[in-house]
Chain A
Amino acid sequence: NAGVTQTPKFRVLKTGQSMTLLCAQDMNHEYMYWYRQDPGMGLRLIHYSVGEGTTAKGEVPDGYNVSRLKKQNFLLGLESAAPSQTSVYFCASSYVLAALREQYFGPGTRLTVT
């Protein structure tokens, strides 16, 4: 099992450019998440999905869009990148169990917007 994988690992964008980050999981998890990590801020939830075809906003959704067309994939899009979106992005997935809420994380994508 590869677990949770993220593509790409690194990316540099110019302000105003667009890009899509891809997350894939092979654990048959229902839930998937996108977080960003900034120095001194911990992990902040951008968007999440509770199943194929459904998405919801997290704590910091502005400037991002997501799609979950297939259960195993969760895409994060930046339509017009801004320097404030320079961050490390993590994807995660989890089971649908009240007694088992651990999330499994990918290795991260380091994005720099100049």
Chain B
Amino acid sequence: DGGITQSPKYLFRKEGQNVTLSCEQNLNHDAMYWYRQDPGQGLRLIYYSQIVNDFQKGDIAEGYSVSREKKESFPLTVTSAQKNPTAFYLCASKRGKESYEQYFGPGTRLTVT
């Protein structure tokens, strides 16, 4: 999982509460991504950021928000507007436009009841 940390590994919240998932990388990568993983559906892109102070919506951004105030950090907030927030969340990073593969963190499993 090298160089990308996500915390916590498991997170439990009550319905109606906002929750923020942490993602930090020390790889000096420019681009960072957030994916959601559900059984049998692969990975779906929530948000991505190519540079500091800039980010773009992915396929399923509704009910989520992000910030990119520092190059090494890309926190994801799951808001109460997200209808089905229970999932495994994966953060990834990529060096820049000249590179190809993304590198993933260990993931955070969020359970909302």
A joins B in a complex:
no
